[in-house]
Amino acid sequence: MRVIRADGAGGPEVLVVHEVPRPEAKAGEVLIEVTAAGMNRGDVMQRHGHYPPPEGVTDVLGLEVSGTIAEVGDGVEGWSPGDECVALLAGGGYAEYVAVDARQVIRPPRGMDLVTAGGFIEVAATVISNLDLAELTSGETFLVHGGAGGIGSFAIQYAKSLGAKVVATAGQPQKLDLCRELGADVAVSYHDDWAAAVKDLGGVDVILDSIGAKYLDAHVSLLKRDGRMVTIGLQKGRRAELDLGLLLGKRGTLMATTLRSRSAEEKAEILARVAEVTQEGFANGVFRCVPVREFALDDVRAAHEFFDSGDHTGKLVLRP
Ligand SMILES: NC(=O)c1ccc[n+]([C@@H]2O[C@H](COP(=O)([O-])OP(=O)(O)OC[C@H]3O[C@@H](n4cnc5c(N)ncnc54)[C@H](OP(=O)(O)O)[C@@H]3O)[C@@H](O)[C@H]2O)c1
């Protein structure tokens, strides 16, 4: 079967199609025939050599897939060959087949087609687990950057479903329009003085931060009393100076998390919550699917070039 690896570190040209033996489902695992593999910013970081797979995990790229169960390993209950599923992976998704611990697999949300579902689970698990961690509640104000991107587009919708007032940033006018369509109460260009606009609103209670160093000072300044920020990405740097006095005065909380290296038990807990929130939520209109753009697995370099351009909205998926 075909898989994609990065032979070296760098641009899309390091991505290479390899032929490898098809894996088998070991005890506790299922083998999935991949319908679509979601692309994530983490894949680009891995391609650059900045996000190696955790110990013992394949170096084949890909953190999530949708597909059908091809084999069921010993001891696995509740799955049969042919069942549709989505899986949260620590790696290995850019492939025709992937074997994964059955605890990291759930059914796709009702009413969502299987190609769209290929880009669903990483975003849903990240957003839901982190906004739950930050205890975002009804009536609070929530800030997310890149509201038209993978994480941002679902973060807007989940925060709205919790009853929060949502502020989103984006880099282009059509992306700001999408933020509003998804429910953002306020959408601001991050090329303008977005921090001043958020300050005019009176600050925010919760921030989902995928930017890191560049915005740390502004973020801490904008937190309201008892405000919480969860850092999940470091797109604009990892080191910055923190004004602890400012944070202390606000009784603020800074947190930082990652999903990839969590244990199968932890992922199972997160996925149970994801299923609870989303299983009916897409069918009954609480959430809507953002457009998904498809690339053939063999066109992975073109797909990464497009991802690197930053012109995409929502999710990109690879089709084996
Ligand atoms: N910790 C975890 O477990 C975890 C899991 C999944 C993802 N993540 C992180 O979440 C982030 C988003 O991932 P993704 O897959 O959703 O990628 P994505 O679709 O490419 O989204 C990235 C977003 O960042 C926005 N952005 C870029 N530069 C910005 C700036 N200077 N100011 C404000 N926004 C800016 C972009 O906005 P425009 O498109 O409008 O330019 C884009 O929407 C990444 O940092 C990723 O590493 C973390």
- The pLDDT score that the predictor gives to residue 285 is 93
Task: Report the chain's terminal Cα–Cα distance, integer Å.
Answer: 10
pLDDT tier for residue 91 given thresholds of 50, 70 and 90? very high
β partners of residue 16? 5
Closest CA to 108 of 234, 289, 240, 255: 289
277, pLDDT greater than 90: yes
d(CA 110, CA 284): 9
Distance, CA of 292 to CA of 76 (rounded, Å): 31
Average pLDDT on 54-81 reads 97
Structure confidence by residue, pLDDT tens digits, 97-126 = 999 999 999 999 999 999 999 999 999 999
pLDDT above 70 covers what percent of the chain?
100
Residue 291 pLDDT class (50, 70, 90 cuts): confident
- Tell me the whole-structure pTM to 2 decimals: 0.97
Task: State if residue 315 touches ligand 1 by the CB under 6 angstroms criterion.
Answer: no
Rounded CA separation 51/42 (Å): 7
Domain boundaries, the chain: 2-122+260-318, 124-256
Q: What pLDDT, on a 0 to 100 scale, did the predictor assign at position 254? A: 98
What integer is the mean pLDDT of 276-297? 94
Residues 129, 73: Cα–Cα separation, whole Å: 28
Q: Which residues have a Cβ under 8 Å from the Cβ of 275 and sit 6 or more positions away?
A: 106, 107
- How does pLDDT run across 240-255, given as a tens digit for each residue? 999 999 999 999 999 9
Helix (H, G, I), strand (E, B) or coil at 232: coil
Residue type, 248: L
Q: What residues contact residue 267 under an 8 Å CB cut-off, 6+ apart? A: 88, 103, 104, 125, 259
- In tens, the pLDDT along 14-45 reads 999 999 999 999 999 999 999 999 999 999 99
Question: Whose structure tokens read 């007032």?
Answer: 165
At 135 the pLDDT is 98
Does the Cβ of 212 fall within 6 Å of ligand 1? no
Please name the fold of domain 124-256.
Answer: Rossmann fold (3.40.50)
Taking the centre of ligand 1 as the mean of its atom positions, its distance from the CA of residue 26, in whole angstroms, is 35
Sign of CA dihedral 70, 99, 101, 151: negative
Q: Which atom of ligand 1 is nearest to the CA of 314?
A: 19
Rg of the chain over all Cα atoms, to the nearest angstrom: 19
Span 152-198, pLDDT tens digits: 999 999 999 999 999 999 999 999 999 999 999 999 999 999 999 99
CA distance 25 to 23: 7
Structure letter (DSSP) for residue 95: B
Give the closest residue to 275 by CA, choosing from 146, 104, 94.
104
Asked if residue 292 has its Cβ within 6 Å of ligand 1, the reply is no
Q: Average per-residue pLDDT in the chain? A: 97
For ligand 1, say whether the CB of 149 is within 6 Å of any of its atoms: yes
Amino acid making up residue 205: D
Percent above pLDDT 90 for the chain: 99
Q: Is 247 helix (H, G, I), strand (E, B) or coil?
A: helix
Residue 152 Cβ contacting ligand 1 at under 6 Å: yes
CATH 3.65.10.10 is held by the domain 2-122+260-318 = no
* pLDDT score recorded for residue 32: 98
| Tokens describing residue 95 | 């492939």
Predicted confidence at residue 88, as pLDDT, reads 98
